[in-house]
A and B are shown apart, each in its own frame.
Chain A
Amino acid sequence: GAGVSQSPSNKVTEKGKDVELRCDPISGHTALYWYRQRLGQGLEFLIYFQGNSAPDKSGLPSDRFSAERTGGSVSTLTIQRTQQEDSAVYLCASSLRASALGRTDTQYFGPGTRLTVL
Chain B
Amino acid sequence: GEDVEQSLFLSVREGDSSVINCTYTDSSSTYLYWYKQEPGAGLQLLTYIFSNMDMKQDQRLTVLLNKKDKHLSLRIADTQTGDSAIYFCAESGTGRRALTFGSGTRLQVQP
Contact A98 B101 (CB under 8 A): no
- The answer to the question of B100 belonging to the interface, with a C-beta cut-off of 8 Å to chain A, is yes
- The answer to the question of A104 belonging to the interface, with a C-beta cut-off of 8 Å to chain B, is yes
Contact A42 B4 (CB under 8 A): yes
State A38–B88 Cα separation when bound (angstroms): 14
CB distance from A27 to the nearest CB of B (A): 17
- The answer to the question of B42 belonging to the interface, with a C-beta cut-off of 8 Å to chain A, is yes
Stretch in A11-19, A61-69, A70-78, A105-113 with 4+ CB within 8 Å of B? A105-113
State A107–B96 Cα separation when bound (angstroms): 14
Contact B41 A111 (CB under 8 A): yes
Contact B48 A104 (CB under 8 A): yes
* B31-45 near A? 1/0 per residue, CB < 8 Å: 100010000111111
Q: Which residues of B contact A82 (CB under 8 A)?
A: none
Contact A48 B98 (CB under 8 A): yes
- The answer to the question of B77 belonging to the interface, with a C-beta cut-off of 8 Å to chain A, is no
Chain B residues within 8 Å of chain A by Cβ, number: 24
- The answer to the question of A54 belonging to the interface, with a C-beta cut-off of 8 Å to chain B, is no
Contact B92 A104 (CB under 8 A): yes
- The answer to the question of A79 belonging to the interface, with a C-beta cut-off of 8 Å to chain B, is no
Q: Which residues of A contact B30 (CB under 8 A)?
A: 99, 101-102, 104
Contact of B43 among A41, A59, A104, A109 (CB under 8 A): A109
State A106–B98 Cα separation when bound (angstroms): 11
Q: Which residues of B contact A31 (CB under 8 A)?
A: 97
Given A99-B31, A104-B48, residue A43 in contact with residue B41 (CB < 8 A): no
